Structure 1
Amino acid sequence: MERVVEQLPREEPQFAQEVWRRHWSNLISFPEPANIDVVREFYANARSYSDEPQPFTSYVRGRPVDFDANTINSFFNTQWPGGNSQCHYSDALRTDFAGIDYEEVERTLCLPRGHFHRNRQGQPLHIKRSFLTPLSKYWVAFIHANISPCSHMSDLNVSRALLLFFILQGQPINVGNIIAHEINDCAHTALSNTPLGHPSLITHLCEIAGVDTSMPPFEKPRKTIDRSYYLQYCLSDEEGQNIPAPPPPRRHRRNRPDSPAQPEEEGPQNTFNMADLNAKLEALHRMGLAHADMMRQVYASSHPGFMTSEEYAARVAWPGDQTSTDGGAGTSSGAQAMEEDQSEEEDEEEEQSEEEEEEEDTESDS
């Protein structure tokens, strides 16, 4: 649906001046509610099934409705002074834009470092909307609404970019011819879900042809493109924006082998933990000696052969401090004393048993 577009003489005086110079005041202010049934009937009858040149004529409620370039230019009061000649844009479109300097187009439409997105063959495809200048964005909104309808607003394709380029370059534009071909292409599209373009203009043309367009349903024009739109959609994403340069072609690089890991230097061992552990073990050893000394004092009086403190200390001395014989396999003096006591007791028992045997022999002889 078309939209009313304000001129913004303060924010974008170049837009207002160009609209005035081209006599496009009606083109930015004409949209009114469109009759949906009339528009559908117009497009249904605008399709031609013959091989002859398109007459740019449709039929609505039995009445012929012309939509050729002259009829549209007359409605907008934008007469084309070139007669049957084509404008620069139409010539470029007919030759598939041969000989166009796309770098010049980028410099005219885009911010510094803005550029076309290209395919692998280097052919331009579209320009991202964020790459455009605020003035170009405002023109694009007007073109998409009232000249070349498009619902995809995130970028600008090549044909619409060149249309804007010729407008900003001051080249003459046959706007009636462009809109007539847009309507004709929409009528002959093979897609059933394609939005019907220029509904407000078609309603006006049908009304001029004598068709009753007063019966609903109606579709109102979309929201006006005004200063609020300019501030929100044309300036908001420009502050501080840094457009990246086109990425260079990637080069294949071999993976470098990982460098061998450097051996870690062995630092000095932590001797504090070992010293602390030895001190604790020595404390436990001293505690054991103290307990043994207490036991010795308790039982020494009733057990004459009990080891003395010195003998016990030698017996359970700290490893490495024991006094040993026979290459380290001998026993301590305390152990030897205990063995001697045991041997003396055995000798006494043997002597006693011998005396008893002698007494028995004497009694038997008597």
Structure 2
Amino acid sequence: MGRKNDGKKKAPQQEEEPRVRKRSTRWSTLEDTAWSDIFYCEDRKNRYNFIKTFGFNQEKGFSDELKAVPEIYDELRRRKWLKFNSLMIKDNVIGNVRLVREFFANAWKEPYDQHTDRAYVRGVMIDFSALALNKFLGAEIPFWCALESATIDFPKWPEVRRSVIKNFVGRPGTQWLKYTGGEFPTKIRLGDFKPVARAWAEFVVHNITPVSNSSEYQVENALAVKLIMEKKDINLGQWLVRSIRRISNNGQPSFTLGHCNLITALCRAMGVPEKDDDNPCLPIRAMTLRYFQNYDVGPVGAQPRAARARANVVREEPEEDEEMIEIDRYESGAHPTQQQPPEMPRPTYSEDEVSALMTQLAIARACNVPHTFYSDQSVLYQQARAREANFRPPPLYPQYSSLA
């Protein structure tokens, strides 16, 4: 006999635990040897638990209104990126947050296996190689990728060569942002870009190489914008898979995820099942013609066009104003409606640790070592360089000042 309802409320349903599979070694495929119906092995489940609260940098495409700007839509058409752009528009695809986090967890690889561009997602093996992505998107596959070739030795580019990029994408008067710890400048203010360059710049860092803060624009991404505008051959799938690998294998304590719409669409095309309690990724609006026309065109430092327009014209389109506010918010890297990763405390280092790194850097310079392999963005490196700038070493010959 069944149990009678005693009137008690049911406990709230928690996130379903993955069903662990029994492994088979005879005639087994990769799917058959998976640890569970969700995760390929137990390490992937641990990776999911690590990233499951991380926020997304959501995609943002060009609206159909941008067909009035031939430098944008003609280029999308020529490169066969129209389907890719359509997937970035909120009315076309609603991303699945949990599904994409499971994808990134299963795409995580050990260093010796990071060349394998496949991820097990809910019982389906997803091929996200450059070839598979280009086929799915219908993108043009060039014989030679100008971006890949240009970025091989990019870290060694001197400032004069980087300035060619800055002057190409930036309006007159564009300056480098202040930089510390590195030998060459690395960032430009996004607001200083020329209109077409800025539109492509936003497209790149929202859809192709997602970053959490796009207002300070990396010059390496600006190089990609320059190559797009110069109609140079670019392998979109190759570019996307490099970004997916970077996110999947990111070792930082917190970072931003991306490609939610793209990965969701790819998984759906491969028949990956979805659940009723999967949560959607909150979309942002596509770039409109009105928003594009409000980009500044004059020299940097002049009164912004948007400020002049708002001072002289009565607002008659409140919905459009709300749209611009929303886009501006995402442009600055703020995602208030999405759960963000916890803020990590800034690490501290002892005097001996800072001094040891200073000594190693000094030895490397004295021996003309071409690479030190230290991250110039790390706190320890920046502390060492800051102290080095204020440190006056004693003379080599203290007893003979004339020889010092």
TM-score scaled to structure 1, two decimals? 0.59
CA RMSD, 1 decimal = 2.5
Give identity over the alignment, percent.
Answer: 24
Residue in 2 aligned with 1:146?
207
- Which residue of 59, 76, 80 corresponds with 1:2? 59
- Which residue of 262, 266, 269 corresponds with 1:205? 266
Residue in 1 aligned with 2:167?
107
Alignment of 1:313-352 (within 5 A): none
Tell whether the 8 Å contact from 1:143 to 1:149 is kept in structure 2 after alignment: yes
Give the letter aligned to residue 75 of structure 1. Answer: F
CA distance in 2, matches of 1:28, 1:66: 21
The secondary structure found in structure 1 opposite 2:126 is strand
CA distance in 2, matches of 1:220, 1:186: 20
Larger Rg: 1
**Is 1:29 aligned to 2:86, yes or no?**
yes
Residue in 2 aligned with 1:179?
240
- Which residue of 152, 159, 170 corresponds with 1:94? 152
- Which residue of 7, 14, 17 corresponds with 2:74? 17
Give the letter aligned to residue 21 of structure 1. Answer: R
- Which residue of 278, 283, 301 corresponds with 1:242? 301
Per-residue Cα deviation, 1:259-286 (whole angstroms, up to 9, x for no partner): xxxxxxxxxxxxxxxxxxxxxxxxxxxx
- Which residue of 266, 271, 281 corresponds with 1:219? 281
* Deviates further, 122-131 or 167-176: 122-131
Tell whether the 8 Å contact from 1:111 to 1:131 is kept in structure 2 after alignment: yes
Per-residue Cα deviation, 1:136-177 (whole angstroms, up to 9, x for no partner): 111111112211112312121021111111111211011111
Structure 2 gap segments, 5+ residues each: 1-57, 303-404
CA distance in 2, matches of 1:11, 1:174: 26
CA distance in 1, matches of 2:108, 2:254: 16
Shift of 1:8: 4.6
Tell whether the 8 Å contact from 1:206 to 1:213 is kept in structure 2 after alignment: no
Shift of 1:241: 4.7
CA distance in 1, matches of 2:299, 2:220: 29
TM-score scaled to structure 2, two decimals? 0.54
The secondary structure found in structure 2 opposite 1:21 is helix
Give the letter aligned to residue 288 of structure 2. Answer: D
**Is 1:165 aligned to 2:165, yes or no?**
no
CA distance in 2, matches of 1:158, 1:240: 20
- Which residue of 41, 49, 53 corresponds with 2:102? 41
Shift of 1:221: 2.4
Q: CA 1:170–1:189 in 2, change beyond 3 Å: closer, same or farther?
A: same
Residue in 2 aligned with 1:273?
none
CA distance in 2, matches of 1:68, 1:160: 21
Structure 1 gap segments, 5+ residues each: 244-366
